[in-house]
Amino acid sequence: MNKTILFIILSITAMQVFAEDVNITASAPGVVTLGQQFQVVFSINAKPKSFTAPTFKDFTILAGPYTSSQSSIQVINGEMSQSVEYSYTYVLQANKEGKFTIEEAKATVGGKTYSSNIITIEVVKGSASAPPSSGGQQQQQQNRQESENVEENKEDIFVKILTDKKEAYQGEAITATIKIFSRINISDLQNAKFPSFNGFTKEEIETPQITLQREIINGKVHLTGIIKKYVLIPQHSGEITIDPFELDVIYQQRVNAAPRSIFDDFFGTYRDVKQTVKSEPFKIKIKPLPEPKPAGFTGGVGNFNFSASIDKPKAKQNDGITLKIKISGNGNIKYTDLPKISFPSDFEVYDPKITTDVKASSNGLTGSKIFEYLIIPRHYGNYTIPSFNFTYFDIASKQYKTYKSPEFNLNIEKSNEPSSTPMVSGFSKEDISFFGKDIRYIKTNNIKLYQKNKQYYGAKNFYLAYLISFVLFIAIIIISRKQIKERANIQKVKNKRANRLAIKRLKQAKIAIKENDNQKFYEEISKALWGYIGDKLFIPTADLSKEIAINELIKREVNKQLIDELIDIIDKCEFARYAPSAINVSMTEIYNSAAKVISKLENEMK
């Protein structure tokens, strides 16, 4: 019985293997040096009935084919799968310089013939310090040759910062790659000092672990690897200098000491050597955007799409309406803003909730930025949100392009619920500006009359008024100076107490979490953040706005990402207080984010 079950399992497994696509893959180094030995491997994911190798007419076959096979069985969620691989390995030697092609190999599986990919190999003139490929004794010999020549050749290891553009427009994305080049075996990389990229905003591109590839540099084979990649956005025009990148490289160097045994004489003795390499600084020319800039241009540079919509054209008085604006595409989308939108005066409009989903890659910054305005109509009637423009500079055409939003007509019906906000209608500012000034009433009380054309200059009252004005002027100066000193002391006191008061309010917010009091929680978080900013910037909370806070924090050189995090938390608190359904983040997450932001601000604004 057990043998029958085993037979069925093996049969099903075999059927799965043959049901998969059969692939035959050829692999070899892309660049080799003259006289170098290297391997060509043909791998097949099924057992072939026959295998036919290419002729290798431009190379000498030193050994092969060596055949090997491996298989594995996996059981995932009760499903069994098997993978197999059969390999044919040849050892070749390059005998002449040039670019050569290794033709496809052929294998027969299940009655069908499959072909491998074609390989192109470039053979270049070799040197004593060329990077090794593989092999036992030959590897050791090449290592000894490398280390003996390290001190003579200072170009064995170096680093460079490479950019895809030598000049660009202000706001145009530039890809910068930090790369290492080596002709000797590297053991480790340490103490990397990355440039600050002053004059740019930078976004790091996700880079996999360093893998060395062969490249020809000035006619010599180098092993190269990418250390970091960035997308840079220039913030101003002119020549911007990119500072050097510095790195400590650890490699093995042979010690020319007297051999202590026959094994030392054969294998050699090596030690770890540290060498500091540094890239050269270089300049990038940044061109200003063409003038004149169109009205409504807010700095967008790239290739963008634009859309605007509202969630409902018909609503009741005091109901929330969402205006959603989406900018997507490729460019400095993360730093692009919207022009001012004219909303009806009877609408209460909150600062937009901004959602940015941008990914940095070698193609620049790609993704979207969404602005969501929460609009609350406080009065019923028919209203119109006029059309507005979004203008950006298109890199491909080197011209400004403009998208125009549709005009939104809203029908606001009267709410059955009594309004908590008193509204006054029927009058405009022009209607009441001169109200009561067109008719002057006859005065019936006793009035004092003065003689016409009597001169006031030189009279007693003139000199008295002059003296009083002078005394008041002196008094104002004294009082102002005193207030300035007191204000300076108050500013110092407020700056010191800012963090303490913020912590107290955060404790109140934590109590509100335990009591599940949403309204109190968001109110305390808002007070903590606004109170902290007001005390640190010495601006009364009543006079604070997001725009003022952002500008002041930028003047104090606070990290822009930290400012964005602060404004995002404030936005979430406002939305939660006035439109709870628009928030899908827990109170605990908002509390932790607020505490983290205040801590970071405290470190940056000491």
Query: Which is higher by pLDDT, 147 or 583?
Result: 583
Average pLDDT, stretch 599-605? 79
- Other beta carbons within 10 angstroms of residue 367's beta carbon come to 16
Query: Which is higher by pLDDT, 576 or 588?
Result: 588
Highest mean pLDDT among 237-251, 471-485, 518-532, 543-557: 237-251
For residue 87, is pLDDT > 90?
no
CA distance 177 to 416: 63
CA distance 588 to 585: 8
The domain spans of the chain are: 21-124, 137-287, 297-413, 488-604
Average pLDDT, stretch 250-260? 65
Least confident span in 206-215, 238-247, 327-336, 575-584:
575-584
Q: Which residues, including other chains, have CB under 8 Å from residue 77's CB and lie 6 or more apart? A: none
DSSP state at residue 44: E
For residue 590, is pLDDT > 70?
yes
Query: Which is higher by pLDDT, 572 or 133?
Result: 572
For residue 150, is pLDDT > 50?
no
For residue 2, is pLDDT > 70?
no
Query: Per CATH, the architecture of 21-124 is what?
Result: Sandwich (2.60)
Average pLDDT, stretch 332-346? 86
The pairing of beta strand 297-310 with beta strand 389-394: parallel
For residue 234, is pLDDT > 70?
yes
pLDDT of residue 422: 44
Average pLDDT, stretch 345-374? 89
Quick: pLDDT tens for 521-534.
888 888 888 888 88
Token pair listed for 468: 């009083």
Average pLDDT, stretch 54-59? 84
Whether the domain at 297-413 and the domain at 488-604 fall into the same CATH topology: no
Least confident span in 177-181, 232-236, 261-265, 299-303:
261-265
Please give the share of the chain, as a percent, with pLDDT higher than 70: 76
Least confident span in 24-38, 361-375, 376-390:
24-38
Per-residue pLDDT band at 453 (split at 50, 70, 90):
low
Mean pLDDT of the chain: 77
pLDDT of residue 599: 84
CA-wise closest residue to 160 among 203, 199, 215, 111: 215
CA-wise closest residue to 135 among 54, 32, 26, 213: 32
Q: If DSSP codes are grouped into helix, strand and coil, which group holds residue 5? A: helix
DSSP state at residue 333: G
Calculate helix-pair angle for 560-578, 587-604, nearest 10 degrees.
Answer: 150
pLDDT of residue 138: 38
pLDDT of residue 110: 81
Angle at 531 between CA 529 and CA 534, to 5 degrees: 110
Average pLDDT, stretch 190-210? 87
DSSP state at residue 335: G
CA distance 497 to 15: 75
| Domain range 488-604, CATH class | mainly alpha
Query: Per CATH, the architecture of 297-413 is what?
Result: Sandwich (2.60)
Please give the share of the chain, as a percent, with pLDDT higher than 90: 13
CA-wise closest residue to 564 among 601, 531, 528, 591: 601
For residue 282, is pLDDT > 80?
yes
Per-residue pLDDT band at 177 (split at 50, 70, 90):
very high
Query: Which is higher by pLDDT, 3 or 195?
Result: 195
**Run of H or E residues at 478:** helix 460-514
Quick: pLDDT tens for 102-115.
888 888 888 888 88
pLDDT of residue 304: 92
Helices (H), 228-320: 262-267
For residue 326, is pLDDT > 90?
yes
Query: Which is higher by pLDDT, 17 or 481?
Result: 481
pLDDT of residue 284: 92
For residue 431, is pLDDT > 50?
no
Quick: pLDDT tens for 490-527.
556 666 677 778 888 888 888 888 888 888 888 888 88
pLDDT of residue 401: 92
Per-residue pLDDT band at 64 (split at 50, 70, 90):
confident
End-to-end CA distance of the chain: 79
